[in-house]
Amino acid sequence: MKLLYFAWLRTRIGRGEEDIEPPPEVATVADLLAWLAARGAGYAEALARPDLVRVAVNQEFAGPDTLVHAGDEIALFPPVTGG
């Protein structure tokens, strides 16, 4: 699974992308975010408010119940605001 981090998520986590193999119990976007938040201080800080994190699975917006699979590309980014 390839993870891409954008904007302040990238800054807090300390990297723009990584390849991971989450455990089998990670089945949904919500599971993935919870698992990532437990990986360390930067992840915990970045994902402390999962409601502020937008997720795309294979370049399509995804909700917390969206299934994730090995080989997926998961992008995490903040909400976009206009002005």
Q: Please check whether residue 28 lies inside any domain of the structure.
A: yes
| Spatial distance between the Cα atoms of 71 and 2, rounded to a whole number of angstroms | 7
Q: Please check whether residue 82 lies inside any domain of the structure.
A: no
Residue 83 pLDDT more than 70? no
Q: Please check whether residue 83 lies inside any domain of the structure.
A: no
pLDDT of residue 80: 72
Predicted TM-score (pTM) of this structure: 0.93
pLDDT of residue 79: 82
Q: Please check whether residue 12 lies inside any domain of the structure.
A: yes
CATH at residue 44? 3.10.20.30
Range of the domain at 57: 2-77
Q: How many domains does the chain have?
A: 1
Q: Please check whether residue 17 lies inside any domain of the structure.
A: yes
